[in-house]
Amino acid sequence: MKRVFIALKVDPGRELLKLYSSLNALLEAENIKWVDPGNIHLTLAFLGDTEEKRIKILSDMLGDICCDFKEFDFVLSGTGIFKNIRDPRVLWIGIKSADRLFAINSLITEGLKINGFNTEERPFSPHLTLGRMKSVRDAGNLKSVIERYRDYQIQIVHVTEVILYESILKQTGPIYKILGSFVLS
């Protein structure tokens, strides 16, 4: 079994790295497990434990989808949290200009269902996870920081490929191994 997910790699530009550093400093009192900037990605589908023989099916499906899907851009913009300000779980960067992102996610989700893979029931909510939290010490400060960067345009991401990753969990944090890269037309 391999723990797998389908994602878009996001190479952090100068503005994203600057925001990452600012958030880290402004929220240093919080217990946040920060995502390594080299691991930043946008998840299209998380499959979890998958039999190795099924990975070939995933690869074929992604190859078929990607060869007919054109390259596209989306915009990283704003910050937020999942759950709520009193009980935050994920600190994220938002996405704008995401029509093509929703389109490719829809094709992938449909392909997964057709090929007998389980898919998440919740609606697709494109974002980049910057950090994970179990609790908040100063909800007022967290709210203030989120508000400060709510409409902050960070960078344009040009998408040229979809990647099938294996996530190998280690005590120091996950290692993402590329199982396949599928170039868009």
Q: Rounded to 5 degrees, what are φ and ψ at 17?
A: -65, -35
3-class DSSP state of 70:
coil
In what order do the strands lie in the sheet containing 32-34?
32-34, 128-133, 87-96, 72-84, 153-159
Q: Which of 58, 117, 127, 159 is catalytic?
A: 127
Sign of CA dihedral 86, 89, 94, 98: negative
Q: Which of 27, 41, 164, 179 is catalytic?
A: 41
127 is catalytic: yes
158 is catalytic: no
Known catalytic residues are: 41, 127
